[in-house]
């Protein structure tokens, strides 16, 4: 299991400027929906944005704390 706070920290380590919104999809702390807003995504295509977020959470995916993640990315307003 991975708390929303721990997941946020993984994402912020890769995107320090990000605003991160997380929703636990099942209540089991292993399936999350995340929205990451970061200026880092400027001039980065959608698939590459998702790859960057996956790379940030990869340790939790590999060790089994995180089973599934739905990613949305945006630029800051």
For the chain, domain boundaries: 4-74
In this predicted structure, what is the pLDDT of residue 77? 87
- How deeply is 38 buried, as exposed, middle or buried, from its count of CB atoms within 10 A (0-12, 13-18, 19+)? buried
The Cα–Cα gap between 76 and 36 comes to 9
Q: How far is the C-alpha of 30 from the C-alpha of 11, rounded, in Å?
A: 15
Q: Which CATH class is domain 4-74?
A: alpha beta
Separation between Cα atoms, residue 34 and residue 72, nearest integer Å: 6
Predicted local confidence at residue 19, as pLDDT: 98
| pTM score, whole prediction | 0.93
Nearest to 75 by CA among 51, 50, 47, 43: 43
pLDDT in tens, the chain (77 residues): 999 999 999 999 999 999 999 999 999 999 999 999 999 999 999 999 999 999 999 999 999 999 999 999 999 98
């Amino acid at each position: 299991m991975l708390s929303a706070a721990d997941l946020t920290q993984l994402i912020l380590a890769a995107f320090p400027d990000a605003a991160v919104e997380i929703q636990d999809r099942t209540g089991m702390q292993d399936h999350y929906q995340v929205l990451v807003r970061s200026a880092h995504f400027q001039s980065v295509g959608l698939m590459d944005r998702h790859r960057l977020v996956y790379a940030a959470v990869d340790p939790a995916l590999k060790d089994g704390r995180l089973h599934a993640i739905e990613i949305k990315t945006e630029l800051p307003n």
